[in-house]
């Protein structure tokens, strides 16, 4: 059926060619958006209006053709009368134009007998002939993945989906605006890196033919941004794509958008205050409220948020004393909980798996989880008050990590020692270990000021703020399995 429709529409293109009419012209005229027409209808009634958009419906009734035209801002009814445009033009439109075509209409505004705001068309023009018909049963689509594969159709049919992506754009714009007002400058760092770093993750590997050089897609911009601190920049941020060769689930996609910032002469306490200010700003500007709903539950974003000690929470929820138990004992406890662990996971990674699977899902309201044990973050500074703990925090909301942050380790000798520990783990088979970056160590040896930094998952943030069921709903084209 679809192929038959396509053949018929190809024939219509041929008819246009015979009449020397371009089915895909480069010039279009528009005087107003549909939303502007609907909002200022009475003021515009005496003016000739030019609208462009997609034909969403068509209905012929004798000498009348009713339809709806949709652009990015809204939808409006149009009316073509045979006695107004002439029989030849009327029949031309009837024969050539279909639902789904992109068209230009010009005419004057009227209200129909039912009071519907309508453009009475005097002239029309084909802007792009659609060869395929819009699916009739898109709203009842059971194959959710088909929506993501053909996102362009999803956007045509689902206004809620389109609105969610507009909110996403606004969130990113407001984050950028907030940080700039706070004195941060936006920078760009390499996506192709000779050595990946800045996070615990497996990378994607590629090859540069021109230099016969293996490269990696970045898993984080962190180490390059900190090089900028060495160079004298004091407040920097970057919003960009990162890539991690990991699984796909509700809150993970192999390529995703991250915002990272680094702030010289600040520590993790300063960052917590900054984060609270930023979220208060976002909620006020977008929702005009301190409350949102996610997965049927209300999130209260009112600050200040609670700050809870990781080890205290871990001990309370699991009845395990992390500092007293050894790696093998902790592994056995995890297995009792039904967790399946990789063979070469170090102790702190086992604790993290326990936390992510059994404790984190219970944390719904915004919470700063602070002072993870030494070992969790190879790039984080140890606390001066307790050398076994880190000056770090994670912002947990709705059972997921939104932000990872810490006071940055700027001691090159300690950083090198930690990298070497991570290299040992990597050689044992722990593929997500940090790699020894000697160039970064050299940069630290020139002196990096005390600083704090954070990474914010933009996709996760948008998912929660827009009450989306998964990350794939807020990424235009998420990674998909082959059909």
Do residues 160 and 113 both lie within one domain?
no
The average pLDDT across 439-454 equals 98
Specify if 424 maps to a domain. Answer: yes
Provide the domain limits for residue 276. 156-306+365-473
Please identify, among 78, 101, 134, the residue that sits at the C-terminal boundary of a domain: 134
Residues 90, 80: contact at Cβ < 8 Å? Answer: yes
- The per-residue pLDDT for 142 is 63
Q: Are residues 165 and 108 in the same domain?
A: no
> pLDDT band at residue 141, thresholds of 50, 70 and 90?
low
Residue 140 has pLDDT above 60, yes or no: no
Do both 93 and 123 map to the same domain?
yes
Q: Give yes or no: residues 267 and 381 share one domain.
A: yes
Contacts of 278 (CB under 8 A, 6+ apart): 175, 178, 179
**pLDDT tens profile 86-130:** 999 999 999 999 999 999 999 999 999 999 999 999 999 999 999
Q: Is residue 355 part of a domain?
A: no
Q: Tell me: the pLDDT tens digits for 2-41?
A: 899 999 999 999 999 999 999 999 999 999 999 999 999 9
How far from 449 is each of 184, 273, 446, CA to CA, in Å? Answer: 16, 20, 10
% of the chain residues with pLDDT over 70: 99
Q: Is 105 a domain residue?
A: yes
What CATH number does the domain containing 453 carry?
3.30.930.10
Same-domain pairing of 40 and 187: no
Kindly state the tokens that stand for 206.
Answer: 């590629």
Q: Kindly state whether residues 187 and 276 are assigned to the same domain.
A: yes
Q: What is the pLDDT of residues 291-305, one digit of tens each?
A: 999 999 999 999 999
The residue among 99, 134, 169 that closes a domain is: 134
Among residues 103, 134, 165, the one where a domain terminates is: 134
Q: Are residues 103 and 215 in the same domain?
A: no
Average pLDDT, the chain: 95
Say yes or no: 113 and 8 in one domain.
yes
- Residue 380 lies inside a defined structural domain of this protein: yes
The verdict on 118 and 204 lying in the same domain is no
pLDDT greater at residue 142 or residue 89: 89
65 and 203 within one domain: no
The domain tally of the chain equals 2
Question: Exposed e or buried b for every residue in 10-30, given b needs 16+ CB within 10 A?
Answer: eebbeebeeeeeebeeeeeee
């Amino acid at each position: 059926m679809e192929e038959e429709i396509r053949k018929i529409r190809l024939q219509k293109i041929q008819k246009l060619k015979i009449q020397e009419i371009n089915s895909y012209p480069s010039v279009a005229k528009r005087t107003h958006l549909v939303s502007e027409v609907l909002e200022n209808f009475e003021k515009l009634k005496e003016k000739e209006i030019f609208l462009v958009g997609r034909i969403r419906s068509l209905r012929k009734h004798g000498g009348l053709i009713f339809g709806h035209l949709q652009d990015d801002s809204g939808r409006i009814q149009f009316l073509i009368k045979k006695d107004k445009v002439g029989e030849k033009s009327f029949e031309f439109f009837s024969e050539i134009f279909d639902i789904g075509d992109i068209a230009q209409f010009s005419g004057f505004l009227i209200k129909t007998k039912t009071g519907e705001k309508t453009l009475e068309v005097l002239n029309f023009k084909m802007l792009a002939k659609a060869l395929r018909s819009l699916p009739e049963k898109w709203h009842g689509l059971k194959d959710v993945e088909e929506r993501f594969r053909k996102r362009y159709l999803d956007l045509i049919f689902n206004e809620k989906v389109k609105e969610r992506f507009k909110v996403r754009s606004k969130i990113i714009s407001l984050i950028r605006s907030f940080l700039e007002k706070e004195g941060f400058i936006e920078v760009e760092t390499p996506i192709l890196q000779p050595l990946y770093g800045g996070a615990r993750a497996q990378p994607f590997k590629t090859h540069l033919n021109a230099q016969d050089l293996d490269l990696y897609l970045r898993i984080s911009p962190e180490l390059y941004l900190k090089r900028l601190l060495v160079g004298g920049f004091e407040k920097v941020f970057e919003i960009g794509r990162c890539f991690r060769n990991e699984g796909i689930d509700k809150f993970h996609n192999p390529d995703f958008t991250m915002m990272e910032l680094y702030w010289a002469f600040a520590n993790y306490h300063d960052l917590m205050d900054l984060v609270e200010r930023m979220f208060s700003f976002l909620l006020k500007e977008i929702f005009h409220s301190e409350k949102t709903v996610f997965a049927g539950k209300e999130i209260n974003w009112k600050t200040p948020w609670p700050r809870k000690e990781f080890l205290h929470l871990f001990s309370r929820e699991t009845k395990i004393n992390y500092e007293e138990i050894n790696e093998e004992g902790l592994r056995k406890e995890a297995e009792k909980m039904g967790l399946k662990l990789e063979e070469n996971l170090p102790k702190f990674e086992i604790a993290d798996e326990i936390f992510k699977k059994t404790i984190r899902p219970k944390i719904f309201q915004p919470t700063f989880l602070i002072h993870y044990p030494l070992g969790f973050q190879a790039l984080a500074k140890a606390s001066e008050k307790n050398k076994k703990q880190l000056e770090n925090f994670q912002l947990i909301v709705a059972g997921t990590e939104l932000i990872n942050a810490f006071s940055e380790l700027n001691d090159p000798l300690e950083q090198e020692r930690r990298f070497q520990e991570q290299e040992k783990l990597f050689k044992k088979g722990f593929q997500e270990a940090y790699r020894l970056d000697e160039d970064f160590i050299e940069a630290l040896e020139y002196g990096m000021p005390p600083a704090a930094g954070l990474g914010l998952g933009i996709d996760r943030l948008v998912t929660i703020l827009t009450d989306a069921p998964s990350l794939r709903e807020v990424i235009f084209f998420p990674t998909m399995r082959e059909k």
